Amino acid sequence: MKNIFRIALIILTASCLIFVTGCNKVEQMNETTAAYLTSSSVESSIEETNPDDNAQRKLETESTESLEAKNQITSSSESTAIAPAANKEIPIYTMNDVTLEVEAAVALVPENTEITPEVIVGLVSDSLADRSVFIGIDSITTENDAVIVSFLSDQPPVVQMGGSVETTILDAIAQSLVDNLDDYSKVIFRVEGGPYSSGHFAYGLNEVYLDSSNKK
């Protein structure tokens, strides 16, 4: 009987050990499985998050690059706008505000401007306009070594001018032309294609008003 009792006790003890060991193994397996699942979830979360983060970072980078490019373009445009245009000085003659006599002046034109009779007469006209003297130009032509300036019959200097102011206007135009144009040494004034005639002066159709070649 004692042997039977011992055998039963041994079997019972072994059964308990097996049960406890099995439970421990199951618990370890559960813990391992849980850890694996947790790790997988974290990795999955990271994998799901990374694309958005990368896209967001890419958008931010592109926005920064775009802003820098715009700033460079704006800076370049501002530099271009601020850069002064190249000009050159043209010596002309105009009228003194006080004495109403001829006086030297300087006009500015773009560096690449071709100096022609039209340009010179235009500069003198603008300078006189600044002094409230508005002259009427009919045409400007050239013939051999002469520049022919024809005025309108109903505008200064032909009308509305005193004799001294009329002379100042004619002198300013003629002197400005011969001083700036090497190919033309003579100036002829006309009125609408005919002889120059005003209330103070009269000149023949081809009468030379100024000839700079006589000074050479």
Distance between CA atoms of 197 and 193, rounded to whole angstroms? 11
Please give the model's pTM, rounded to 2 decimal places. 0.62
Element at 113 (helix H, strand E): none
Range among 3-12, 13-22, 92-101 with highest mean pLDDT value? 92-101
Q: Is the pLDDT of residue 209 over 60?
A: yes
Instruction: For helices 117-129 and 163-180, give the axis angle rounded to 10 degrees.
Output: 140
Distance between CA atoms of 146 and 174, rounded to whole angstroms? 11
Tens of pLDDT, residue by residue over 116-164, are 999 999 999 999 999 999 999 999 999 999 999 999 999 999 998 889 9
Q: Is the pLDDT of residue 165 over 80?
A: yes
Q: What is the pLDDT of residue 83?
A: 59
Distant-in-sequence, close-in-space partners of 194: CB < 8 Å, separation ≥ 6: 205
Q: What is the pLDDT of residue 35?
A: 47
Q: What is the pLDDT of residue 6?
A: 60
* Distances in whole angstroms, Cα of residue 45 to Cα of each of 24, 52, 53, 72, 138: 31, 11, 12, 40, 87
- Angle, CA of 196, 185 and 216, to the nearest 5°: 125
